[in-house]
């Protein structure tokens, strides 16, 4: 996987996102159908919930629509539903980069080699882009042989995505440092 050369300093068993709400958007496409996108979102929601985040998932494209009343509240400086409940929007899309199927020994063995890219964008509640990255992975599947590389890949992928989300959370906090703090009740 392409992200493995970057250091990951996050412990996915720790409550890294206890003060955070996430909206995960897993976009279906030619490489990832709707049911696969839902499975991806479900697994990632579990990952972030285990780290303390409040998570919502969707497989539709575009940001959740805001009503005109919410937009009016925003222009007047009042809070919107989105700013109260969601701190980060994580959008994931997958694309196939390469696929090769090889038949060996007169159809007795089939080897499938494919490379894919996972495009990741993380925005704050205002739509400001905090992180945009692409992780690439390669799988080689041999028909008839059990291969546990998917489990190893998933562990590394979850750590990489958690690190990206933590980096986005820190960037969001740094960028919002000069914002006025809400008055205590």
pLDDT 10s digits, 90-146? 999 999 888 887 776 655 677 778 788 899 999 999 999 999 999 888 777 776 555
Q: Tell me, what's the pLDDT at 64?
A: 46
> If you average pLDDT over every residue of the chain, what do you get?
77
Q: Six-digit token pair at 90? A: 């994580």
State pLDDT tens for residues 9-58.
Answer: 788 888 989 989 999 999 998 888 899 899 999 999 999 999 999 999 99
Cα gap 158→143, rounded to integer Å: 26
11-175 CATH fold: Double Stranded RNA Binding Domain (3.30.160)
Q: Where are the domains of the chain?
A: 11-175
Query: Whole-model pTM?
Result: 0.72
């Amino acid at each position: 996987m392409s992200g493995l050369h970057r250091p990951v300093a996050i412990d996915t068993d720790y409550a890294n996102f206890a003060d955070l709400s996430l909206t995960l958007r897993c976009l279906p496409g030619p490489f990832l159908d709707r049911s696969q996108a839902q499975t991806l979102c479900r697994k990632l929601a579990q990952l972030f919930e285990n780290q303390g985040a409040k998570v919502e998932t969707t497989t539709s494209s575009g940001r959740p629509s805001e009503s005109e009343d919410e937009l009016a509240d925003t222009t007047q400086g009042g809070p919107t539903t989105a700013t109260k409940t969601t701190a980060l929007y994580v959008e994931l899309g997958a694309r196939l980069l390469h696929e090769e199927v090889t038949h060996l020994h007169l159809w007795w063995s089939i080897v499938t080699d494919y490379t894919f890219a996972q495009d990741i964008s993380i925005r704050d509640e205002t739509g400001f882009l905090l992180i945009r990255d692409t992780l690439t992975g390669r799988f080689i599947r041999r028909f008839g042989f059990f291969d546990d590389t998917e489990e190893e890949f998933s562990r590394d992928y979850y750590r990489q995505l958690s690190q990206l989300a933590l980096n986005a959370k820190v960037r969001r906090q740094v960028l919002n440092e000069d914002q006025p703090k809400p008055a205590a009740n």
